[in-house]
Amino acid sequence: MAFEKTGCSVNDGIEGTWNGVIDLNGTPVPIVLHLAVRDSRLSATADFPKHYRSGVDLLDVSFAGGTLRFGTRNMGAFTGTLSGDGAQIDGAFLNKDQRYPLVLGTGDIRRDEPARPQTPKPPFGYDSEELWVDRADCRLAGTLTIPSDRKIRAGILLITGSGAMDRDETVFGHKPFWVLADYLSRRGYAVLRLDNRGVGASTGDRTTHTLADDVDDMSAALDRLKEHDDLRGVPTGLIGHSVGGLTGAQLAARRGDVAFLVSMAGPGLSVGETFADRECDGLEKANADPVAIERHRAFTLALYENLRERNDAPIDSAEITALAERFGATQTAVVKNSADWIARFNEPWFRSLVRCEPASVLGRVTAPLLAINGNLDAQVRAATNLAAMKRVLETSGHADFRIVELAGLNHLFQTCTTGLPYEYPAIEETFAPRALQTIGEWVDARFSVQASPAENSRSK
């Protein structure tokens, strides 16, 4: 989360580092506050160690009469009272109708590395090599994991979701793409995973790139994989996560040499519909008024339609405010009017995503297709998106597809309780074994083990 920092006059006695634990619906979330006086005004930042977030600026910070107050964008407003001995701040966050107590003590907290038991460890049952993909405006760096005996079922290119992701799709200390590559390479697959352009060892500018650039990058990576000495003539497919599933679908629709596509939590609905579902589900869980939820849905759909139609023209706060007022959604639409969301709306990549219609893309895919999602996914609602995919594929007469909704899994395919993103870092599991098995068994059914061309030449 990101907050806009402000400051105000301050009394003595509150400066320093404070820590406590918030209980968010049964999940403990440690928080560390750093309070300091700058230019005679109090400023504050927060660290969320379990979420790997540091230096998050707080809103409207004040300390007067022994009471500390500050606001946040996502957790509501905090009010707490400093104890007489100055050793404790006793307070709570208030967010709509929810109250989250927080008692702060002085000092920082111990920051342990999270337990991530699925992160692969040697000995590996495969070889790894660094592989480069050269483009006109960037160079992509990646890792290819390939069975040591070179008896290869198929080649696989992994495609990350939105944002600046490394080759392991690292998030909160989890490395789901490494876990997936490890699992598949042990089953006989050569798997390539890449740092996005401008991330890790890859070069390139991310400020002007679009979804079309992502598709072109992955097309070049697919060529590079097929040209590998051990993979010439070997069937090669795609596995994409989240928006990566849509990127993979665009590539599979463009090229006839894609052997298969696995879409993991990929969208079947438009961006506007997906975000409307996501945000309205969140409002429903927060016990918002049903009328307010429907107003917010109408506002959200109209906002994304506005973004789609305006091409590259920027949108500003006044326009979003006017749209919210038109639909009676000024209270629920406040987050969309924040500086970081407006910046996102005006990014070339996000605009290109808004203009992409998953239904028209999926209708042109003929390669065997597996679409999976967890039924607790709070980012890409499983039921509606998988149903949309099924409708499109049936209408287009697709000959070989399977739709699977996995119970109890979130957007990252972790076994979870609520599916909400705040759980991600607290869960030790990186990738549910049954999700891995679903993918592994599906591709195994289509590809038998075969010696690579290089292995065949060596055996002669």
Domains of the chain: 16-106 (2.40.128.20), 126-270+357-459 (3.40.50.1820), 271-353 (no CATH)
Tell me the residue type at 408: G
> For 5-33, what is each residue's pLDDT tens digit?
333 344 467 899 999 999 877 778 899 99
Please state whether the peptide bond connecting residue 49 to the residue before it is cis, i.e. omega within 30 degrees of 0. Answer: no
pLDDT of residue 97 exceeding 50, the answer is yes
- pLDDT for res 27: 78
Helix (H) or strand (E) holding 273: helix 271-285
Q: How far apart are CA 91 and CA 89, in angstroms?
A: 6
User: Which residues on neighbouring strands pair with residue 36, listed in sequence order?
Assistant: 43
Contact 30, 48 (CB under 8 A): yes
pLDDT mean across residues, the chain: 91
User: Which residues on neighbouring strands pair with residue 20, listed in sequence order?
Assistant: 31
pLDDT of residue 125 exceeding 60, the answer is yes
The length of the chain in residues reads 460
What average pLDDT does range 410-431 have in this prediction?
93
- pLDDT for res 351: 95
What average pLDDT does range 88-110 have in this prediction?
89
pLDDT of residue 346 exceeding 50, the answer is yes
Residues of the chain by 3-state class (helix, strand, coil), percent to 5: 35, 30, 40
DSSP state of 412: T
> For 278-320, what is each residue's pLDDT tens digit?
999 988 988 889 999 999 999 999 999 999 998 889 999 999 9
Contact 430, 411 (CB under 8 A): no
Contact 186, 179 (CB under 8 A): no
Q: How far apart are CA 339 and CA 165, in angstroms?
A: 23
Tell me the residue type at 328: G
What average pLDDT does range 184-198 have in this prediction?
97
Q: How far apart are CA 48 and CA 178, in angstroms?
A: 25
Q: Which of 21-30, 206-215, 362-371, 444-453 has the lowest mean pLDDT?
A: 444-453
| More confident position, 334 or 427 | 427
Among residues 55, 62, 56, 50, the alpha carbon closest in space to that of 75 is found at 56
Q: How far apart are CA 195 and CA 164, in angstroms?
A: 9
- pLDDT for res 96: 67
- pLDDT for res 389: 98
Q: Which residues contact 65 (CB under 8 A, 6 or more apart)?
A: 11
Percentage of the chain modeled with pLDDT above 70: 94
Q: How confident is the model at residue 349 (pLDDT cuts 50, 70, 90)?
A: very high
- pLDDT for res 211: 96
Where does residue 397 fall: left (phi above 0), alpha (psi -120 to 50 degrees), or beta otherwise? Answer: left
- pLDDT for res 1: 33
Q: Which residues contact 69 (CB under 8 A, 6 or more apart)?
A: 60, 61, 62, 63, 77, 78, 79, 80
Tally of CB atoms within 10 A around 200: 18
What average pLDDT does range 375-392 have in this prediction?
97
Token reading at 329: 């959604």
Q: Which residues contact 167 (CB under 8 A, 6 or more apart)?
A: 141, 142, 143, 177, 178, 193, 194, 195, 200
Q: How far apart are CA 322 and CA 107, in angstroms?
A: 45
Q: How confident is the model at residue 454 (pLDDT cuts 50, 70, 90)?
A: low
Token reading at 311: 């091409």
Token reading at 154: 């198929």
Contact 135, 196 (CB under 8 A): no
Q: How far apart are CA 401 and CA 390, in angstroms?
A: 9
| 452: Cα within 13 Å, side-chain hemisphere | 23
Where does residue 378 fall: left (phi above 0), alpha (psi -120 to 50 degrees), or beta otherwise? Answer: alpha
